[in-house]
Amino acid sequence: MRKLIAGNWKMNGLASSLAEIAVLKGATGMATCEIVVCPPFTLIEKSSQQLKDSNITIGAQDCHPQTSGAYTGDVSAEMLADAGARYVILGHSERRVSHHEADALVASKVVAAHKAGLTAIVCVGETRGERDDGRALHVVGTQLRGSVPAGSSSSNMAIAYEPVWAIGTGLVPTIEQIEEIHSSIRKALEERLGEDGRNVRILYGGSVKAANAAEIFAVANVDGALVGGASLTAADFAGIISAVGQVG
């Protein structure tokens, strides 16, 4: 299975930041995996034009479940596709927590993404308290069941496991913890989607960097990464991409 490396710029980046993507086009290992960069809404069209003849794909960080209407400040999946996006991150913990997005809302956004022809990267993950209470598997399983709608498949969806306590903190779960969660996600996907569940890419996210990427990529059922801060500069992101080639 070809690994997927997605960069989430979050609320960072101006037009001048596109120079980082231009540098990235020459990174070692680009041919060994699929690369997606998810800049803020304001840069989607410019970046998609810049990367028209490259093997880097542009994604978005969220979408509204409706196609249009009186939703001031929101952006529909159709608008994202029209601007050149091919992927969209949905259910990120920062949306679930700060914007109080429940599983049902995430699922409705995934449906909207699929209708627009976008591949949804659906995020799941537990808080520190939930892990300390021994509820990580239950929390992730519940989010997965509630956030993945009918019609989902390996061709229109990837799952990203991001333990909330590891995002931007420098903390990383043990290899055993990552393997346990990813294996449980794989099992749930196979139960839900049948044989196609084996083909859905499951990404790991949370303080991924060049120094630990190869070890993480070698874990069973880790099919790539959702990268935050380290995706903002070409040098850091390229180091993660090149780590794919280090996995035997």
**CA torsion angle for 36, 42, 45, 49 (degrees, to 10)?**
-70
Q: Does domain 3-246 have CATH number 3.20.20.210?
A: no
Inter-residue contact 110 to 65 (CB < 8 Å): no
Rounded to two decimals, the pTM is 0.97
pLDDT digits (tens, 9 = 90+) for 102-124: 999 999 999 999 999 999 999 99
Q: What is the mean pLDDT of residues 66-89?
A: 98
Residues 6+ away with beta carbon under 8 Å from 73: none
Q: Is 238 within 8 Å of 28 (Cβ atoms)?
A: yes
Catalytic residue among 20, 94, 162, 182: 162
Q: Answer yes or no: 94 catalytic.
A: no
Active site residue 34: no
Q: Containing H/E element for 227? A: strand 224-227
245, with CB counted inside 10 A (0-12, 13-18, 19+), is: middle
Per-residue buried b or exposed e for 170-202, using 16+ beta carbons within 10 Å of the residue's own CB: eebbeeeebbebbebbbebbeeebeeebeebbb
All structural domains of the chain with their residue ranges: 3-246
What are the tens digits of pLDDT across the range 163-177? 999 988 888 899 999
Q: Is the pLDDT of residue 93 over 70?
A: yes
Catalytic residue chosen out of the listed positions 64, 78, 92, 126: 92
Q: What is the mean pLDDT of residues 169-189?
A: 95
